[in-house]
Amino acid sequence: MINEKLIPYLAESLKTYWDMPAFTDYPGPVLMYSEVGKQILWLHRLYKACGLSKGSRIALAGKNCSNWAIVWLSAITYGATIVPILVNFSADELQHIVNHSESDILFISRDKNDSIDDEALSACKYIFSLDDFSLLNNKVDKKTEIIKPLPEHNDLQNLKSQDLNFADVVDNEDIGAIIYTSGTTGFSKGVLLPHRSLLANLIVARENLLFKVGAKVIAFLPLAHAYASSFDLLYPVTRGNHINFLDKIPTPKLLVAAMKDLKPNIVLTVPLLVEKIFKKQIQPTLDQPKIKAMLKVPLLNKLIYRKILKSLMQAFGGQMTEMVAGGAPMNAEVEQFMKKIRFPITIGYGMTECGPLISYARWFEHRYESSGKTVKYLTAKVNSSNPETEPGEIMIRGEQVFLGYYKNPEATAEVLKDGWLYTGDIGTIDKDNFIYIRGRSKNMILGSGGENIYPELVEQKLNNLPYVAESLVLERNRVLYALIYPDIETMDHDKITESELAEIMEKNRQEANKVLASFSRIAKIQLVNEAFQKTPTQKIKRYLYH
């Protein structure tokens, strides 16, 4: 049971860091914490003028930016429920979420607003621009202004830090956010996250992530996802961090450039981005015949590893103390190499329904192929006779667990049973509560002899092979097929033709099968000409390819 509350944390943080840099739409100008606080109080007045009260729903759609963060914080501190909408949702999906959540008002970027039908938003009374908070549509009385702009509120303009206060009207069981998932199974459900879930994640972050006060943070993962909103926004605000928003997940080249400039001390990312950096910046060096020979020589190999580590750390700004990857499994070969050179990376595990963190360990405590250790306030168990060696479904209970899916009791009953959240993830847990993910129960393929085949593990082998950008393993006619999207950039660089590529992929299939169990070997490879569609945490939407 948590005895604290979330809103006082935020109020105290704004007061404490009043004169420090808060937000930047990178690489733009700085917004101070004092300006953020004043904007939040102005939005509270706007909400009141719009007739919003505790529990009213505020929808939010647009790319990462300072205004996105301000709306999110203002809704939480007002006692309203924020409904963040992923920027890659279609216009139809966006309209459905606004209607399904019965949102009273919508903040939306102008480019997204151009694609939707305002009149189709049945419950929504007001639509505001996320770009500048101007009124786009007033469905109540058609007035063009609800309240005066912030510069005309003299009391807010002259506000001192000690005078900032938020009414603490919220209980920990009240809904803080409804997050509509974009999962691998194709069904978007509204996850009801109470304040206690957001608060538990915040407390875990404050006790473990240890961002330096005032340090710069790069926020490029979609803020509408629980992972980014908790650890790229909520937690950094309580540490007085200067959050630099990038409006999309950057290419490895752009990310490295931003890191060299900002020099962050903690970086949150997804495994796919780390794997791309490994493939583009490290693998070519390791594949050089001279380097391969040197790596076989004791002491000399350690010298090479130290040089690679130093080069990587400088590429990430030179001040990074930890990189946290989450949202999807890490390629085992990439993880093994990073551990070998002692690069400070760790892999966590979570899901939206836990707001999101389930397990995490500092990089120097992290165990190979694990997803960290069960965090504070949570208990995890595996539904098998021997949880340490026999994979089973991972089950969770604790403060972080959600209340259910909004207006979907059937889906809620499927995953919340007897006080436990059935995650749908298959794995094991060791005696020290480190969790090892093997795959998703819905993705598991049953072999001809009754064996459990986890396609994610087969894909990891394929993704390490030449000219493979990404792969997807599925069952067709009782055998395993691998859909492969080739690495076009490297093909062009090496002048590989289409006919040569077919031969290379057949060799890749044979190489992969040498290390795979007989029941999980690939029968055929099929090339695809477009990258696979993905969720915000870069997991492939498998349901689109069966």
Determine the pLDDT at residue 127. Answer: 95
| Strand order through the sheet with 322-325 | 266-269, 322-325, 345-347
DSSP 8-state secondary structure symbol assigned to residue 11: H
Between CA 294 and CA 533, with CA 470 as vertex, the angle to 5 degrees is: 150
Residue ranges of the domains in the chain? Answer: 6-195, 447-545
Determine the pLDDT at residue 184. Answer: 46
pLDDT tens track, the chain, 546 positions = 788 999 999 999 999 999 999 999 999 999 999 999 999 999 999 999 999 999 999 999 999 999 999 999 999 999 999 999 988 788 888 999 999 999 999 999 988 888 888 888 988 999 999 999 999 999 998 888 899 999 999 999 999 999 999 988 899 999 999 999 865 445 578 999 999 999 999 999 999 988 889 999 999 989 999 999 999 999 999 999 999 999 888 888 888 889 889 999 888 888 888 888 888 888 888 888 888 888 888 888 899 999 999 988 988 889 899 999 987 778 888 899 999 999 999 999 999 999 999 999 999 999 998 999 999 999 999 999 999 999 899 999 999 999 999 999 999 999 999 999 999 999 999 999 999 988 877 777 766 656 677 788 888 888 888 889 888 888 887 788 889 999 888 888 888 888 888 889 898 898 888 888 777 888 888 898 888 887 766 778 877 777
Q: Which CATH number fits domain 6-195: 1.20.120.1200, 3.40.640.10, 3.30.70.360, 3.40.50.12780?
A: 3.40.50.12780
Query: What is 447-545's CATH topology?
Result: GMP Synthetase; Chain A, domain 3 (3.30.300)
Residue located via tokens 């990038």: 246
Determine the pLDDT at residue 148. Answer: 94
d(CA 95, CA 84): 13
Residue located via tokens 């900002």: 262
d(CA 69, CA 43): 12
Is the fold of 6-195 the same as that of 447-545?
no
d(CA 425, CA 437): 7
Determine the pLDDT at residue 444. Answer: 72
Token output for 303: 């010298």
d(CA 362, CA 375): 12
Helix or strand holding residue 399 (H, E): none
Pairing of strands 468-476, 479-486: antiparallel
pTM: 0.85
Token output for 33: 């914490």
d(CA 527, CA 516): 20
